Amino acid sequence: MSEKDISKTVIKRLPRYYRYLGELMDSKVERISSGELSERMHVTASQIRQDLNHFGGFGQQGYGYNVEYLYDEIGKILGLDKKHNMVIIGAGNLGQALANYGNFENRGFITKALFDENPELKGKKIRGIQVRSMSQLERYLKKEDIQIVALAIPKESAVVVAQRVVNCGVKAIWNFAHTDLNVPEDVVVENVHLSESLMRLSYNINRYELEHGIKKEEE
Ligand code: NAI
């Protein structure tokens, strides 16, 4: 089966497998059965077997999964065995927070520069990474080997800025702006919406309260 045929829901679960396997490696666990992995991850063992079978299984009857091997293989599927250079556009609260998070580098995502239209931010350094002016964007993207652009700018300007980025040949956008980007088919966009995640949390709080007969005082 080609990776194209694998459903998006399976792909969505892979980072979670990767994280758990990384934790097992940190704890020096060398092999694990689908049953044990299922208990840790709160996913059924058959789900785990089904998911991992998409990629050739990696498991052996009676032995379980070799943790390091599986970790490496999933890492390769996720493209984490390669380095990805990234640029962040928008050096406000969110852009700076992303740049300040050094752990992305451990996964191979290297933030090379930030860009912002605010002249007061030009030259500022966030964790040693320079904020550049938007007028340098095209030159920089064409000259440097940048694979990912993160958009941390208001939605009003995101579509236009995304177009500029795509025109420079960038094929991957990590979009935090609350708007859909109209990009060609060969450009991949990963939309991140923290507020949607909060809304799901709110739904689950509501459901829990309803199920347990918890009534909240009206404010
Ligand atoms: P902010 O106002 O602190 O920063 C925005 C920065 O973008 C400013 O420095 C501004 O100068 C710059 N900027 C504006 N237009 C630009 C352009 N055309 N080119 C280059 N730079 C430009 O805002 P904050 O809190 O950092 O949020 C940024 C964006 O991210 C907003 O659209 C916000 O709604 C969104 N956001 C999304 C989240 C999500 O989960 N998707 C979470 C938090 C914020």
**Domains present along the chain, CATH in parentheses:** 3-77 (1.10.10.10), 84-194 (3.40.50.720)
Task: For a ligand 1 pocket test, name from 131, 140, 153 the mutation site with the most ligand atoms within 8 angstroms of its C-beta.
Answer: 153
Model pLDDT for residues 111-167, shown as the tens digit of each residue: 999 999 999 999 999 999 999 999 999 999 999 999 999 999 999 999 999 999 999
Q: Look at residue 180 in the predicted model and tell me its pLDDT.
A: 94
What is the pLDDT averaged over residues 52-68?
74
Average predicted confidence (pLDDT) for the chain: 91
Is any atom of ligand 1 closer than 6 Å to the C-beta of 118? yes
DSSP-derived letter for residue 168 is T
Does ligand 1 lie within 6 Å of residue 91's CB atom?
A: yes
Containing 20, the helix (H) or strand (E) segment is: helix 8-26
> Quick check: CB of 68 below 6 Å from ligand 1?
no
Q: Which atom of ligand 1 is nearest to the CA of 176?
A: 41
Chain segment 169-218, per-residue pLDDT in tens: 999 999 999 999 989 999 999 999 999 999 999 999 999 999 888 876 65
| Beta bridge partners of residue 32, listed in sequence order | 65
* Total-model pTM: 0.86
Cβ-contact 191, 175 below 8 angstroms = yes
- Distance between Cα 92 and ligand 1 center (Å): 6
Q: H/E element holding 137? A: helix 137-143
